[in-house]
Amino acid sequence: MTELDWLSNPSFSTEDALLLHQRTTEVANLIPEKSPLIRTTSRSELSGESDTDESLKQSSKKRKKKKKKHHHYKKTKKKTKGDSSSSESDLDTKHVKDKATRSDRNHEKEAAANLDKKTSNLTSNRFVWLDDIQAFSAETFRIDKKPDPANWAYKSLYRGDIARYKRRGESCLGIDAKKQCITWDSSASKRKQLQRRPERYFTKNSVNMLNTDGIPVCNKSSPPDPTAFIPVFQMETDDPSNTTEVNLLGIYDPSATVWLQGKGCKSADHEPVNTQQTSQEPGININSILMTKVEEHNKKVRENPRDINAWMEFVSFQDELMRGPSPYASKGEQEVRRKSLKLILEKKLAILERAIESNPSNVDLKLARLKLCTEFWEPPALIKEWQKLIFLHPNNPELWKKYLLFCQSQFTTFSVSKINSLYGKCLTTLAAVQDGSMVSHPLLPGTEEAMLAIFIQQCHFLRQAGHSEKAVSLFQALIDFTFFKPDSVKDLPTRGQVEFFEPFWDSGEPRIGEKGARGWKAWMHQQEKGGWIALKSDDDDDDEEIDEDQEIKDKTLPKWHIWLDIEYSREARHWLPWRPDKTKKETEEDCEDPERQVLFDDLGPSLIQLSNPDLQRQLVYSFLQFLGVPCTSKLFPSNLYIAMDENNIFDSVLSDEKPLTSVDFPLSGFNSIGHMDTMLRGRHHVGHYKEGEEFIQNVFHVLLQLFSGKEKSNLSICWLQYEISKVVQCLQAKKKKQLKTQGKKSKKLAKNLLKAPDNRNHLSLWKLYAYLEWLLGNLDDARKVFDTALCTAGTGGLKSPQLCSLSLLYAQLEVELLESIEGAVMSRAVHILTKLAESGPYVPYSGQVLSVNVLKARKTYERALQAYLSKTPVSDQDQVSDANQLVNLVGCYALFQYLTVGIDAAVLIYAQTSEKLEASGPHTCENTGENFGIQNFPTALEAVTLLHTNLLRFHMKISVYPLNPLREALTEALKRYPSNQSLWRSYIHIQRKSHSASKARRFFDGVTRSTNSLEPWLFAIQAEQMRKKIIENVQRADVGEIHSTIPETGLTNRIVALFEHAVQSENGTHCPLLWRMYLNFLASLGQKEKSKGLFYKALQNCPWAKVLYMDAVEYFPDHLQETLDLMTEKELRVRVPMEELDLLLEV
């Protein structure tokens, strides 16, 4: 029906309608003005105008306005409510319409009489207030006969004028729930149900449910013996104890419901059932457990406020507390409660402040508090807090380390000069504590070792910031200050000694690494006598300085490319401090780049006293490592990852081709000085330029004079290892021409070293020389060297560690030449190992091996191994040599068994040895320096595992063998040694061929959770990137239609997630290498905006790393000027300013 269908209704009469309307208006005008029953707002009716039509129009207009004002705020409500109310209000509308149209002419008088009766209570206005009605308090209702045009428009009354109610529950009062039920149909609720989708596992409620502890669903009081069926606990439907009859609306608690059922109190024998029911109520169960834990923690800290661990546990417990529902909130609040990070932090902060009140001198609590405050406070406020803490504990070296790292990684306040002076202040303060001149604070144990660690960290900081000259000068100064100290100043405090050292440093006298360096001591003696006699230098070296015009090889290249080329070139050539050459009559003004000069003020405050011989040796090896010489020692753990910035950590260095004898440099992952370049370009040259190589030679000459005996031979080994490392780099880069010249130089050095009287019988040097010949491809010469060394070694046999080591390498190199294991019993390798076991004079290989000798050798090996495994070392030094000997012995025996019996026999020896070493505890192979945190050798178990895995890899290369034994050996070893890079390299090498990555991913995930080492993260990322590369190669191969067997499955997102987790870890946050890898990955995807954002994020954590800025120049060449300005602002070393580059391009 249309809206005006009622006009055609036969029962409708226009006369009736007009009459009714006329009567109503007349009555309205008859009502007295000041009636006590009326509250009116219409002016038109008060004025009593005669024209009824006009008054009607005005009142209706005003009513509309008022209606708009009155109901405006209700417009925002949902439409669904209006729809649901329409059905209820339709009835009322029809009823009113019926009343209006039912009146008849015959009943005209009755209607008039009724109107006269009731209109005393009516008003032309729509609203009547209950407060105004006094007479008819019994029947407070009214009939409103005033027409409302809105009803014609909307077909129903306005919903705000109809009384509403809400139904509680789905039941109906007074109904028998067993026999009857009522279904309430509501369009709104149906629509709501349709709109609500089932919740997925990642929604908020589901995550909360997963985070809560599991609830036991079995009855704890049930008997232990298994029943024939699983009992189902439920109430029978006929049971009169059904609570739905009593608690229809669900408003009574359980005890009230029981009382209403007339059951009284619960009996004791029902208790077990009740406990089971409550245990199935998750909220109650979890809350009670959490409440108990909270009470326990509070009790602990209340009873033992001095127990630091208890306070720390309480702080970490807050995370667990926030994961579950709050034990203090009501049920409604639990659902609404937002688990905000700020809430947890504030709670933790409050607990720590209480803990500090009880333990005002504890540093760990204060550090934990400062760590939390980084989330709340601005950097200046944080720095003030740190300064207060350092002022209170100036003698705590661990605190200093953390403070230095904090200041170093604050981008807003960072500048190189500030941080460098802070390092100086730190070392000066600790030196004063060490001397005893700071009386207020005692010397803490391990301070001297920590001071050396901080000093080395400072040198690496300067190297990474591009100030390599200052870093080299620091090492030069401390070596002079430590090893060439005059006896006359030894008793003075550190600052007093530094004052005497300054005149020597500024005198222009040659320093360590420079030609003719004699040292501080000799200079002091000579000064006392009356100065040096100036000698003219004989040699007239060709100056290798490049003309500035030659620095730009190709001017057509982009500007950023040219800048990177010149910057790299100068970085490689100018890492030594510039000093005026007196023979050429140079002065300090002649230096083109003032930054290349190092003033004493930059390094004086950092000079410290090292009295421990182990620490003195560590200083020497740290300097050699800094120059790029591979040494046996590692960096201090505290500055290991901060200094890591080079991508060579993943280079396998010939290990894929030659798994048995792969060269493993202990310190990969670090840019040696003079090799700073972008991630994509990598190293340009092997070793250093002429000036740098001469410097290293001079350093070795000085150091070899300082030491004698074993230390001297160790330095010789380091020097030869450096030469071998350069040969290996040439082999890797496949530079044949350079390999030839480098080989000549290295052989010359090796022969010179072996000519020295101390080194003639030094088997380790002979071994390295033979290996060098082997790498250069001169196999016959190498065999001659090996045979000569074995002949001159004497008859030490298995008891000589050096002889064992030499024979093992010789045998391994020979085995690598074998194409298969068949016939290996008669090989040269078996001959070498048999002769070693015989302990007689060595006879060169003649082409056959006697079976009797093989059997004898096997028995000898077996007895020797048992003897070593049951031996108990007397001193630390014995332990070191015994562990070395054990590793070599096991290696020889296992290789011998492999060649004569097979792989299983060799694996069995490794398994027995590993088992024995594990059972006897940490059978370490570390020297006494381990007490100071310096690891000079891997543990015996670690070395044995490496031999084991290398042998398995070799065997898999030459024959068919399952992968599982190797994978299991590697996973076991990596769980124990998660920072061993060689093992990780082997692991990702074998995993890259596997189709299923899930096992490796689970393993990586497990290791990263159980250790703080960064290596698992780095290698997990590398493994995924290798996988991505393989997939891309397969998908891009041009062989028609490709069916890729390895799906992409979101590898990019996985790698990004790994990076995100790694940079949030404690060691990863300030590791420049990790940020460089992340930036390189995003740039390789072509996500320029994201990469730029990540670059600034990286600077927030590592603002000192110049390599990051250089990478940015390559990835964002348009922002070259901006990047250089930023570097200049932070005082990083820019060797080619933009102005100079423009001038060079113009020439």
1071 pLDDT band, cuts 50/70/90, is: very high
- pLDDT of amino acid 699: 92
Cβ atoms of 130 and 140 within 8 Å: the answer is yes
pLDDT for 694 beyond 80: yes
Q: How confident is the model at residue 1077 (pLDDT cuts 50, 70, 90)?
A: very high
Q: How confident is the model at residue 883 (pLDDT cuts 50, 70, 90)?
A: confident
Q: What is the pLDDT of residues 133-160, one digit of tens each?
A: 655 555 666 777 777 777 777 777 777 7
Average the pLDDT over each of 140-149, 278-287, 660-669, 1067-1076 and give the range with the smallest value. Answer: 278-287
Determine how many CB atoms are found less than 10 A away from the CB of residue 441. Answer: 14
pLDDT at 451: 93
The average pLDDT across 731-745 equals 83
What's the average model confidence in pLDDT over 928-933?
34
Under a CB-based contact definition with an 8 Å cutoff, are residues 476 and 513 in contact?
yes
Average pLDDT, the chain: 76
Q: Of 89-103, 277-291, 429-443, where does mean pLDDT reach its minimum? A: 89-103
What pLDDT is stored for residue 1102 in this prediction? 92
Give the residue, 535 or 507, on which the prediction is more confident: 507
User: CA 1086 to CA 1080: how far, in whole Å?
Assistant: 10
Q: Which pLDDT tens digit goes with each residue over 771-815?
A: 999 888 888 999 998 888 888 877 777 888 888 888 999 999 988
Q: Does the pLDDT value for residue 235 go beyond 90?
A: no
DSSP-assigned letters across all residues of 1090-1116 = HHHHHHHHHHHH-TT-HHHHHHHHHH-
The whole-number average pLDDT for the span 923-949 is 58
The pLDDT tens digits for 70-123 are 444 444 444 444 444 444 444 444 444 444 444 444 454 454 445 444 444 444
Phi and psi (nearest 5°) for 46?
-65, -35
Spell out a b/e string for 1060-1089, using b for 16 or more CB atoms within 10 Å of the CB, else e: eebbebebbbbbbbbbbbbbbbbbeeeeee
* pLDDT tens for each residue of 615-630: 999 899 989 888 888 8
Q: Residue 972's CB: how many other CB atoms inside 10 A?
A: 13
Range 498-515 average pLDDT? 87
**pLDDT in the model for residue 132:** 64
Q: Assess whether pLDDT exceeds 50 at residue 9.
A: yes
Measured CA to CA, the distance from residue 751 to residue 746 in angstroms comes to 9
User: Is the confidence at residue 1108, as pLDDT, over 90?
Assistant: yes
pTM flag (> 0.75): no
Using the predicted structure, report yes or no on whether residue 577 has a pLDDT greater than 60: yes
pLDDT of residue 129: 63
Which residue did the predictor score with more confidence, 870 or 246?
870
- The neighbour count for residue 911, using CB atoms within 10 Å, is 13
The predicted pLDDT at position 1094 comes to 93
How confident is residue 217, by pLDDT bands cut at 50, 70 and 90?
Answer: low
Structure tokens at 661: 């004898």
Dist CA 456 CA 450 (whole Å): 10
Task: State how far the alpha carbon of 1117 is from the alpha carbons of 681, 931, 1019, in Å.
Answer: 15, 49, 30
Task: Please report the pLDDT score of residue 89 as a whole number.
Answer: 43
> Is the model's pLDDT at 242 over the cut of 60?
no
Burial classification of residue 672, based on how many CB atoms lie within 10 Å of its CB (0-12 exposed, 13-18 middle, 19 or more buried): buried
Does 4 have pLDDT greater than 70? Answer: no
Cβ neighbours of 843 (radius 10 Å): 12
Cα–Cα nearest to 42, from 124, 147, 154: 124
962-990 confidence digits (pLDDT tens): 888 999 999 998 998 898 888 888 898 88
Q: Over pLDDT 70: what percentage of the chain? A: 71
Q: Residue 679 pLDDT more than 50?
A: yes
Window from 22-26, 237-241, 1024-1028 with minimum mean pLDDT: 237-241
- Phi and psi based region of residue 1084 (left: phi greater than 0; alpha: psi -120 to 50; beta: remaining): alpha
Q: Between residues 450 and 673, which one has the greater pLDDT?
A: 450
pLDDT at 340: 63
Tokens representing residue 897 in the block: 């068994």
Residue 562 CA to residue 1144 CA, distance in Å, equals 10
